[in-house]
Amino acid sequence: MNAPIIEVQNLSFGYGARPILKDINLKVNAGDFLGLIGPNGSAKTTFLKLILGILKPWQGQIRLFGQDITVFKRWDKIGYLAQKAASVNIGFPATVEEIVAANLYRQVGPFRAPKKTHRAKVQSALETVGLINKRKCLIGNLSGGEVQKVFIARALVNEPSLFLLDEPTVGVDLKGQEGLYELLDRLNKQWHITVILISHDVGVVTARVKRLACLNDTQIFVFDQPFDFLSSPDNLTKVYGQGMQTLIHCHQVNCKGRSFNA
Amino acid sequence: MLEIFQYGFIRHAFMGGLIIGLICPLIGLFIVLKRLSMIGDALSHVSLAGVAAGMILGIYPVYGALILMLLAGLIIERLRTTYQQYAELAIAVVLSSGMSLAVILLSAGRSFNTSLFTYLFGSILTVSKHDLFTIGILGVIIIATVVFLRKELFFVTFEEEAARLAGVPVTLINLILILLTACTIAAAIRIVGMLLTSSLMVIPVATSLQLKRGFYHTLILAVLFSLLAVIGGLILAIYLNLAPGGTIVFFSVLILLFILLRQVIQVKLLGRSQ
């Protein structure tokens, strides 16, 4: 159960000559729910793209499911929800079903038409996110929260073991956000999908995840107990600097309130 | 009305027209959705230079156009990665280069200016068996490629990054799409002319997008609208003695206007009933 799904060792990366990640080490085990936070420009998205093999590291090693990323082939085991997924061209004439089915490309194979089993997988992914009744709808006729769910269903259609989400709550209202976090919780606890979630919402993420990793100034800080992060002003300063003190304080109050109620 | 089909040139015209009517919106939908509508125009301008070069060198002008457009397609794809944020710049650069080359070649070979009109405005009623054969071969290549690669083309058109992660060879598919666009224009310049080819790629697609259907429905509707325009336009042109290329494209504009008007009336009626 606790075999490492992602192992990052001494990873360095940068754009041009400027390094933005230096000597990063991180281990993510099966069943983890890791929140990845950090200020703007702290390379959160870049870090995910390195794990996805979209970017090539300067130095260091990434192992996925025990295999070096350079020889890793089972990309269908990884679901990814990109940050810009919500801003995709919604005028595109495609139904919910067509978009979700497209991601089965590896399973269906080139030059082949999807079979019954593939269509069943699309149905099941849409049931999971609660969009089965809208499967024939055009993406342009859905709300922002529903569009986000379509992309989650698209990621889930391959039944991934690891799900990476980059700022999934951007442009989604509070009710939608609550639904999204509940869904992620369900995927993690019932389906045992390992989740890595990038977010700006430090307070909410801290309350939801099992572990927290903070990126800032080329470094990563990992907290096995997310509340440890918020409870120490030193941690906050280390990750966000002095400028975030007020905002963090506000979240601290919320978090304390939450634990008090519990 | 069927008596017109006893003439061989009319049969050729319809056969050529229907193939073009089928392939133009087939490729057109993908380039419109990739926001590359102008690529048809850019390649058409290049095709003029290719036709002129073909005439100077004494080879079949459509082949000249095809070779030069395939080359231009490769250049556009290369430039599109260089100017990632300004993909349309690649198209503008190729359009200008093609047109300037065409002007130079045209001034170098003044004597063929009249036959050049055949390619500028199309001449569907003088389509020869050789033309029809070339159009047919290109048509089969285009239709077969789109049918076989429909999943890949759909995904790459919808979202390149996600397609790449799903294992689709995005760079190759983009390249194939541009080369198919070049083939489509090469097939169509003899029929509707280089000035109007891109219209037949874009207008039926604009019409079917108005009906807001799923992807494959939209594709089929675009093809149907285009075929309707070819048949309607060609019959009108023959009976009223009008330029066929222009009449076909104008007919497709009329279909678009009809659909737009229908949408407006529908919205108004819906508003009133609520």
pLDDT of chain A, 262 residues: tens digit per residue: 566 899 999 999 999 888 989 999 999 999 999 999 888 888 889 999 999 998 999 999 999 999 999 999 888 899 999 887 666 777 899 999 999 999 999 989 888 888 899 999 999 999 999 999 999 999 989 888 888 889 999 999 999 999 999 988 887 888 888 888 999 999 999 889 999 999 888 878 888 889 988 888 888 888 877 777 777 767 767 676 654 443 444 444 444 433 333 2
Residue A17 main-chain phi, psi, to 5 deg? -100, -5
Look at residue A172 in the predicted model and tell me its pLDDT.
80
Look at residue A184 in the predicted model and tell me its pLDDT.
92
Fold of B2-197: ABC transporter involved in vitamin B12 uptake, BtuC (1.10.3470)
Q: Averaged over B200-226, what is the pLDDT?
A: 95
Query: Which residue of A lies nearest to B163 if distances are taken between CA atoms?
Result: A103
Query: What span, in angstroms and rounded, lies between the C-alpha atoms of A11 and A45?
Result: 15
Q: Does A50 touch chain B (CB under 8 A)?
A: no
Look at residue B270 in the predicted model and tell me its pLDDT.
84
CA angle A249, A250, A256 (to 5 degrees): 85
Residue B212 has its nearest CB partner, among A93, A108, A154, at A93
- Quick check: B206 and B164 in contact, CB under 8 A? no
Q: Would you say the C-alpha torsion B176, B178, B182, B185 has a positive or negative sign? A: positive
Side-chain-side CA neighbours of A158 within 13 Å: the count stands at 24
Look at residue A163 in the predicted model and tell me its pLDDT.
94
B119 pLDDT above the threshold of 50? yes
Q: Averaged over B91-95, what is the pLDDT?
A: 89
DSSP class of residue B211? T
Q: Does A111 touch chain B (CB under 8 A)?
A: yes
Question: Looking at this protein, which amino acid is placed at residue A113?
Answer: A
Q: Does A107 touch chain B (CB under 8 A)?
A: no
Mean residue pLDDT across chain B? 90
Look at residue A199 in the predicted model and tell me its pLDDT.
87
Look at residue A229 in the predicted model and tell me its pLDDT.
75
* H/E segment holding residue A195: strand A194-198
What DSSP string runs through A75-140? Answer: GGGEEEE-GGGGGS-TTS--BHHHHHHHTTHHHH-TT----HHHHHHHHHHHHHHT-GGGTTSBGG
Q: Of residues A201 and B34, which shows the higher confidence score? A: B34
Locus of tokens 């541009």: B178
Give the range with max mean pLDDT: A52-61, B3-12, B195-204, B223-232: B223-232
Collapse the DSSP code of B35 into the 3-class scheme (helix H, G, I; strand E, B; otherwise coil) and give the result: coil
In sequence order, the β-bridge partners of residue A15 are A18
Residue B214 has its nearest CB partner, among A82, A89, A98, at A98
In sequence order, the β-bridge partners of residue A4 are A29
- Asked if the Cβ–Cβ distance from A92 to B158 is below 8 Å, we say yes
Look at residue A87 in the predicted model and tell me its pLDDT.
67
Collapse the DSSP code of A162 into the 3-class scheme (helix H, G, I; strand E, B; otherwise coil) and give the result: strand
ipTM: 0.84
Look at residue B274 in the predicted model and tell me its pLDDT.
65
Locus of tokens 């529908």: B266
- Asked if the Cβ–Cβ distance from A93 to B33 is below 8 Å, we say yes
- Asked if the Cβ–Cβ distance from B148 to A154 is below 8 Å, we say no
- Asked if the Cβ–Cβ distance from B154 to A108 is below 8 Å, we say no
Q: Averaged over B19-46, what is the pLDDT?
A: 92
Inter-chain contacts counted by CB atoms under 8 A, chains A and B? 73
Mutation for B interface: A73, A83, A87, A89, most B CBs within 10 A: A89
- Quick check: A103 and A157 in contact, CB under 8 A? yes
Q: Which of A59-63, A108-112, B17-21, B183-187 has the lowest mean pLDDT?
A: A108-112
pLDDT band at B89 (very low <50, low <70, confident <90, very high): confident
Q: Which of A204, A200, A145 is nearest to A172 (CA)?
A: A145
Question: Looking at this protein, which amino acid is placed at residue B50?
Answer: G
Query: Which residue of A lies nearest to B154 if distances are taken between CA atoms?
Result: A102
Look at residue A242 in the predicted model and tell me its pLDDT.
52
Q: To which CATH superfamily is domain A4-261 assigned?
A: P-loop containing nucleotide triphosphate hydrolases (3.40.50.300)
Q: Does A98 touch chain B (CB under 8 A)?
A: yes
pLDDT band at B111 (very low <50, low <70, confident <90, very high): low
Q: How far is CA A154 from the centre of its chain?
A: 14
Residue B214 has its nearest CB partner, among A54, A88, A93, at A93
Mutation for A interface: B151, B154, B211, B212, most A CBs within 10 A: B151
Residue A105 has its nearest CB partner, among B33, B166, B215, at B166
Q: Does A99 touch chain B (CB under 8 A)?
A: yes
Look at residue A85 in the predicted model and tell me its pLDDT.
63
